[in-house]
Chains A and B, each alone.
Chain A
Amino acid sequence: MSGAVAIVTLFMAGISSADTISYADAVSALAKDCGKDIKKLCSGLNLGNNRIQDCLQKNEAKVSPTCTSTLTSVTASISQRQAAQTGFFKLCEHDAAEFCKGVKGEGNILACLLKTKRIDNGKCNQAITDAGWR
């Protein structure tokens, strides 16, 4: 139950704020601020399945404070970006039907919406920004 609430909260955060960052920028920050700690404390562990995150959290006492804070913000930003990308289709459904009638394929719909000046102030516009698809 609390899991569902958390997801909803992140989703709301994702679509209302304009500063989601890309996966690439998120993990670059992780590498920059946690690289040394990862090499020292999590040697041999891979990026998948939360292993790096779990390792850094388990070793929190030894991990640098900068890394701990970066880890928190990186995790949040990845969830935000994810929520924005999932939310795009629903938030832009109406605009797509109105301004891009007959356009097929998600990539083409996005390209059409990007050219449609009339969505400039709407939620769909914000969703495209948050999803990182400008």
Chain B
Amino acid sequence: MLAHRLRAGLALGLLLAAGPVAAQQLTDRQLVTSLSQVSSEAPAIDIALLMEEANANVGKGVANQPNWSQLTHLAQLLVEIDFENDSVAIEPQSYRTVGLIADALHHPNLMFYKFLVVGHTSSTGDARHNLKLSQERADAIREALTTTFAVSPDRLYAVGVGKEMPVDAANPKAASNRRVQLINLGMVK
């Protein structure tokens, strides 16, 4: 058990460094382990303020904004979910990733926690359009999880941030910047 945890922790570190996790590498156990590392000093996150900051900083980035910068302190994982071009439709090859997230959110270790889905794009295309599309895609993931996969809607929030918080800032057009962040927001009250 301990050995397993160490392995998962190490894998998580490597994967975070390398960008989004491909579905075949990801397991629901890995998701449960990494997402349940909650610290008691975790900051409270206001979704409306995140949206406000993203809308007020189109083209300028949000990494240094007060609310966005708080997110780095929370237990989280990056995943890759592919969508049809300029659409909210999740590609069938990414169904598994959404299913893995659902399995993790239904695990007793995580079932009373709230989560934030953050959608990111690369810098290809118009910044404002990217922001809108990423919000719609984050909403689509939330919708799939709360309907098809029966996760309680009061446990899931969604926000899009377009191209404003690249994981590879030196290469804003890199595909690795297109990603989904799944963040543990703490216990459901």
A interface with B by C-beta (< 8 Å) = 22-28, 30-31, 34-35, 38-39, 42-50, 78, 82, 85, 88, 106-107, 109-110, 132-133
Contacts and interface: CB of A to CB of B under 8 A. Distances in A.
Given A22-B103, A28-B96, A30-B95, 17 more contacts: A22-B99, A24-B99, A27-B96, A28-B95, A31-B92, A31-B95, A43-B84, A47-B95, A47-B98, A47-B148, A48-B144, A78-B150, A82-B150, A106-B112, A107-B109, A110-B109, A133-B108
Interface residues of B, number: 32
A43 B86 CA distance: 12
Given A82-B150, A107-B108, A109-B108, A25 B92 contact: no
Name the prevailing secondary structure of the A interface residues: helix
A26 B171 CA distance: 36
Nearest to B151: A23
Nearest to B86: A44
B180 to A, nearest CB: 14
Contacts of A78: 148-150
Contacts of B99: 22-28
Contacts of A25: 99
